[in-house]
Amino acid sequence: MRFALFGNTHETNKSTHAEQLLRILSHYADEVYADPDFYRFLREEQPFPFEPAGIISDLAGQEIDMAISLGGDGTFLKAARCIGDTGIPIVGINTGRLGFLADVSPDEMEHFFALLHEGRYLLRERCLLRLTTSDAPDRPIYALNEIAVSKHDSSSMLAIHTAVDGERLTTYMADGLLIATPTGSTAYSLSAGGPIIYPQADVFVLTAVSPHSLNVRPIVIADDKTIDLHIESRSGSFLVAADGISHSLPATTTLTIQKATHTIRVVKQEGSTFFQTLQKKMLWGTDPRE
């Protein structure tokens, strides 16, 4: 198999995991290609040698069988952005904290790649959000977790006029608004009080961030709907972030959010289920008295 390797470039204390992974891949991989940032990190910050078959600049047209993300969910999201609509599946090795997307632990790597070599793994499709702006309607931005609208600074709250399929929903008076996929329901949206959504559910969730009114609650809508946002801001601008990558926009900009036509394919361990992940990551079913 030909692998594309992405990794966390901020924590040198986790270099042993990279060394372990490269040792395992020497047995199972025909070729390993590297993300340029991760390759630079390995060469400059780590003592062990690594010579990839090539450096990844654009995965479109590359004959890559699978991508590997070594890090947390942030690293996984970076890999997903690079993969785009190529259909290359991603496996996440979790060296971060919680890790809903990257859920193979370093202790499981040896066993996982042995099963992978035998074709014993699962592929799960995850939907994406597609964001376009009135200023650049032909340059869409994609997000696997969420689109987040937020204040540009510590100024007063935003007024976020929201319509679904052209029908007015409400005006959120809040610090921000999150439009999350089922995948993103366990990320920023969850911390803002949003519900956990089963990954294969065909829905999006809208969650306000610090709303002015206690009557405002998260709402779940079908993912075939189109969401239009018009933002009023006293500062004259606001931030919009796709999976944490922010852009500053003038308040005259209208946002349109839809389901993308392509998906991200996530590699899961054989026998792994979402409910098992919830039990493991969020300690569901654990008696706090024990």
Per the CB < 8 A criterion, the answer to whether 254 and 134 are in contact is yes
Q: Catalytic: which of 35, 73, 103, 243?
A: 73
DSSP 104: B
pLDDT category at 13 given cuts 50, 70, 90 is low
Please give the pLDDT value at position 41: 86
What domains can be seen in the chain, in order of their start residue?
2-119 (3.40.50.10330), 128-262 (2.60.200.30)
Nearest to 207 by CA among 197, 196, 193: 193
Q: Return the higher-pLDDT residue of 46 and 17.
A: 17
Q: Buried b vs exposed e over 133-157: b needs ≥16 C-beta within 10 Å?
A: beeeeeeebbbbbbbbbbbbeeeeb
What does the mean pLDDT of the chain come to?
91
Please give the pLDDT value at position 114: 94
Please give the pLDDT value at position 278: 87
Q: Is the pLDDT score of 100 beyond 90?
A: no
DSSP 22: H
Give Cα 68 to chain centroid, integer Å: 14
Q: Establish whether 73 is a catalytic residue.
A: yes
Q: How far is CA 261 from CA 103, 127, 130, 149, 252, in A?
A: 26, 8, 9, 22, 27
DSSP assignment of 201-253, as one string? Answer: -SEEEEEEEEESSTT---EEEETT--EEEEEE-TTSEEEEEETTEEEEEETT-
43-93 pLDDT, tens digit per residue, is 877 666 788 888 887 776 678 999 999 998 999 999 999 999 999 999 999
Please give the pLDDT value at position 288: 67
234-252 pLDDT, tens digit per residue, is 989 999 999 999 999 999 9
pLDDT category at 289 given cuts 50, 70, 90 is low
Tell me the average pLDDT across 150-178: 93
Please give the pLDDT value at position 88: 94
Selection from 8-12, 197-201, 266-270, 280-284 with the highest mean pLDDT: 197-201
Give the C-alpha separation, 74 to 100, whole Å.
Answer: 11
